[in-house]
Amino acid sequence: MGALIGIDIGTTGTRALAINERGEVVAAASAAYPLHLPHPGWAEQDPEDWWRATRSAIRSLTARLTEPVAAIGLTGQMHGAVFLDEQDRVIRPAILWNDQRTARQCEAIEHRVGSDRLRQIAGNPALTGFQAPKILWLREQEPENYRRLRRVLLPKDFVRLHLTGTYATDTSDAAGTLLLDLARRDWSDELLATLELEREMFPSVFEGPMSTGTILPRVADELQLPRGIVVAAGAGDNAAAAIAAGIISSDRMSVSIGTSGVLFVHSDDLRYDPLGRVHAFCHCVPGAYHLMAVTLSAGGSLRWWRDLLGESDYTPLADEAAALPPGAEGLLFLPYLTGERTPHADPYVRGAFIGLTARHTRAHLTRAVMEGVAFSLRDGYECLRAVSVSSIADVRATGGGARHPLWRQILADILGIPIRALAIDEGAAYGAALLAGVASGIYASVEEACSLVRMQDDVTLPDPERHERYGELFTLYRSLYEPLRSVSWKLAGVA
C-alpha cells in the first residue's frame, strides 16, 4: 500500500518518520535549526529554517525507503505566528508558543471580548502563548509589518503551504489560536470582528484525518516523492502525540515530557474550565475534544540543567539522581524557567531552587528538577480532575523524558497512578503518519489507525510510602508560587 510519512515541526528541529501499513517504523530522519531569544521572554524562529529542515529530513527518509510513499501527515509546535505578505514571503521571524511578550495584548483581549464570553467561544483565557495576541502585538508594535500582512499561518501550515500551495490548518491546531469557535469547529466571526481581524487572513479549517490537497509536482520531484500524494490536515503536536498514544477515549490520559510537559485527556463533548486553568481544544479525532494541562518547561528544565553542566547525555545525570531519596534531601525546584501555563497562566514567574545547602550535589539538583516538573504536572492533574467527570483507568507516558525509568517512577509516585510506556514511542510524527493513513484511505478511521498502537508489558506502579511523602512535599511546592510570583514580578519590573 505504500509508506506513510509523518513530519513534526518541533521547537529544536524537524523530525520525519515513515511507517508501513502495520504501523512499524521503517525509517526516520531529523534536521535541527536554531531558536532565537532576542530579548528576555521572547522566542522566535525563521520559518524558512523549518522548510529547509523538512526538505532535508524528507530527502534523507526517501533515500532509505524501499516502497513508494502513499501520503504525508503534518504536525508541529502549536500557537506560533507566521506572518506572510501578499507574495507569501515571511515578513518577520515567527513568534513561538513559549514567547511571553504579549501580556498586555492578552489583557486587552479579555477586556474587549469579556472573560466569560471568550471561554464560551474559544474554551480558554487569553494566554501569551496563543496566536491571537501575537497578531495584536504586531499591529501595535510593528505597524509597518502589519500593513504588509496578508496571511497568518501556524508553523506546520507554513510547511504545508510549501508542500501543496494551499492555505489550510486542522481543528486541533486552530483551537490554539484563541480565534476558533470550538463548538462550530471553525473561525469565530464574533471574535474576529471584536478584535478587528479579517477572516481572509486565516487558512481553511479541516478535520485532522482529511486531505488538504496533493503535493506540488515540482516539490515531489525535488524530494523524490510520487506525484499526487495527499497531505493530511494533521494536528497540533499534542493532539498528534495523543493519537500516537491511542488517546481516543475518555478513560485514557497521556503524560508527555518533551520541551513542555502535557497531560492530555480525550473528551467526547466540549467542556472547558471556567477558571481557565486547563486548555480546552478540539481533538484531531473528528467531532471530539480534549482537555490539556501544560507545564511550559518540563524536559526543557532538565535540558537547561544538562547544558549548564556541559553534559551531552541525560542518562548519567538520571542514574546519579536515582540513588537519592524522594525530596532530594530537602531540595525543591520550581520549573518556571519560561513562565507557566497550568494552573497559573503567569508569563512573569521564574524558576527557583528552594532549600539549597552546601551539602547538595549535582545529583540532588538533578533529582529536584525531575521532581519539580512532576509536581507541576500534578498541579495540572488536580485541575483536570476538577473539570473532567471521567475516571482515568489508563495512563500512557510519552516523550523523551518518559523514557528513563526514574522519571516514570517519580511521575507514578507523585501522581499516585500506574503508568505504562508505549512499545513504539515516536511521538507526534507517528501520530501524523497515522492521520495520513486515514487521509489516503489505508485506514478507514482514526480508531482503526490507533488500533496499531501497542504498549510495553511492564507497568510502573506508585509506591504508597513515596506517594505519601511526595504528597507532603507537593503541599510545600504549591505554597511557594505566591511568594515566588511576588519576587519574580518585581524583578521583571511589572509589580
Rounded distance between C-alpha atoms, residue 438 and residue 286, angstroms:
12
Rounded distance between C-alpha atoms, residue 290 and residue 441, angstroms:
25
**Contact residues for 41 (Cβ-Cβ < 8 A; gap 6+):** 99, 100, 101, 338, 339, 347
Chain centroid, CA 141 distance in Å: 27
Rounded distance between C-alpha atoms, residue 177 and residue 157, angstroms:
13
Residue 402 has what pLDDT? 77
Which residue is listed with cell 479541516?
206
Residue 390 has what pLDDT? 65
Provide the pairing of β-strand 94-95 with 44-45: antiparallel
The closest alpha carbon to 436, from 125, 138, 208, belongs to 208
Phi, psi at 139, each rounded to 5°: -65, -35
Rounded distance between C-alpha atoms, residue 87 and residue 151, angstroms:
10
- Domains present along the chain, CATH in parentheses: 3-245 (3.30.420.40), 295-420+463-491 (3.30.420.40)
Rounded distance between C-alpha atoms, residue 283 and residue 172, angstroms:
5
Chain centroid, CA 263 distance in Å: 10
Rounded distance between C-alpha atoms, residue 33 and residue 44, angstroms:
11
Catalytic residues: 237
Residue 391 has what pLDDT? 78
Phi, psi at 188, each rounded to 5°: -85, 115
Chain centroid, CA 130 distance in Å: 12
Chain centroid, CA 312 distance in Å: 24
The closest alpha carbon to 305, from 255, 358, 237, 373, belongs to 373
Rounded distance between C-alpha atoms, residue 337 and residue 405, angstroms:
24
The closest alpha carbon to 433, from 40, 70, 35, belongs to 70
CA-based angle 34:402:244, to the nearest 5?
80
**The three three-digit cell numbers of residue 480, written as one number:** 511557594
Signed CA dihedral, 442, 446, 448, 450: sign only:
positive
Rounded distance between C-alpha atoms, residue 495 and residue 485, angstroms:
10
**Contact residues for 259 (Cβ-Cβ < 8 A; gap 6+):** 10, 11, 12, 98, 297, 298, 299, 300, 303
For helices 464-479 and 405-415, what crossing angle results, to 10°? 80
Task: List per-residue pLDDT tens for the chain, 495 residues long.
Answer: 799 999 999 999 999 999 999 999 999 999 999 999 999 889 999 999 999 999 999 999 999 999 999 999 999 999 999 999 999 999 999 999 989 899 999 999 999 999 999 999 999 999 998 999 999 999 999 999 999 999 999 999 999 999 999 999 999 999 999 999 999 999 999 999 999 999 999 999 999 999 999 999 999 999 999 999 999 999 999 999 999 999 999 888 999 898 889 999 999 999 888 888 888 999 999 999 999 999 999 999 999 999 999 999 999 999 999 999 999 999 999 999 989 988 998 888 999 999 999 999 999 999 999 999 999 999 999 999 888 756 787 899 988 877 789 999 999 999 999 999 998 888 899 999 999 999 999 999 999 999 999 999 889 999 999 999 999 999 999 999 999 999 999 998 887
C-alpha distances in Å from residue 491, one per residue of 102, 339, 343, 488: 18, 13, 21, 5
- Is the pTM of the predicted complex or chain greater than 0.85? yes
Residue 388 has what pLDDT? 74
**The three three-digit cell numbers of residue 163, written as one number:** 508542500
CA-based angle 392:394:396, to the nearest 5?
120
**Residue 287 CB: number of other CB atoms within 10 A?**
12
Cβ contact 25:434 at 8 Å? no
**The three three-digit cell numbers of residue 108, written as one number:** 486587552
The closest alpha carbon to 414, from 383, 378, 382, belongs to 378
